[in-house]
Amino acid sequence: MTQLQPQTQPSAPPPTPPRGTSTGMKWLAGCLITLLVISLVIAGLVWWAFNHYVKPLADGFLGLAQLEQLDKNIKNTGPYTPPSDGKLEGAQLERFLKVQSAMKNAVGNQLQALESKAKALEQGSTDQNNVDIPKFLEGLGGLFKTIVSAKEAQVQSLNDLNMKKLEYEWIRDETYRAVLGQATNQTIKNFEGFPNLSGKSTPLPAIGDESLKANIALISPHQDNLLKNYALHTFGF
């Protein structure tokens, strides 16, 4: 008798992968690569902007924060009593011109740009609709660096001359009272002088016509250079 053999069931074929899976993975990979490239481009632009605009501006602010500290490095901080008649002495003007020359040499060709930058920044701040932000920040950062360089040179020169800070400030203000008096052909008896680092100015006492005429005669040979260097002192030093 022949023994019946059990019939074996044929094995099921492996499941067919769903259509479109390979295409979908390629599409997803392409999107990720595109996002990565875009992210790298954005990161590059941010880094470029940081180095060209934000960092110089931040460095400038840090430099300005050092101005008061630099001012404290002036060694001769003793009192000074100006002459009652307000007359400048030749030796005083000579020392002032040495300090001014040191500041001018420190900022180099930035001296002429100093005043124009300040005016441009002032105009930009009042005309907000036409402000070019990148140029505004770049100009502001450059302005800060120039100011700090001038201040460092001023402090070093004052210490080299052992010049009192208060005497220097009085000479500076009386010199420019005479400069402006000659330039405008007016008798400027009352003059506010230049502001200090906090932006405040202390009005100078009025002086007589004879004293002002004597000061004008003293500064007259240096009138042109003093006018050109006026911007050095508009920031409080």
Greater pLDDT, 56 or 173: 173
Q: What is the CA radius of gyration of the chain?
A: 35
| Residue predicted with more confidence, 104 or 186 | 104
- By CB atoms closer than 10 A (0-12, 13-18, 19+), residue 233 is buried
82 Cβ contact list (under 8 Å, min separation 6): 170, 174
CA distance 177 to 181: 6
Q: Which two tokens stand for residue 104?
A: 């001018």
pLDDT over 90 (residue 27): no
Quickly state the pLDDT bin for 171 (edges 50, 70, 90): very high
Q: Is 17 a residue whose pLDDT tops 60?
A: no
Confidence tier at 187 by pLDDT (50, 70, 90): low
pLDDT at 143 over 60: yes
* pLDDT the model gives residue 112: 64
CA–chain centroid gap for 87, Å, is 35
Instruction: Say if residue 35's pLDDT is above 70.
Output: no
How many angstroms separate the CA atoms of 51 and 169, rounded?
37
Question: Do 193 and 202 contact (CB within 8 A), yes or no?
Answer: yes
| pLDDT band, residue 44 (cuts 50/70/90) | very low
Please give the pLDDT value at position 193: 77
Q: Which residue has the tokens 């769903």?
A: 18
How large is the average pLDDT for residues 171-181?
92
% of the chain at pLDDT higher than 90: 32
Mean pLDDT over residues 203-229, rounded?
A: 91
Each residue of 128-137: pLDDT tens digit? Answer: 455 454 554 4
Cβ proximity of 151 and 67 under 8 Å: yes
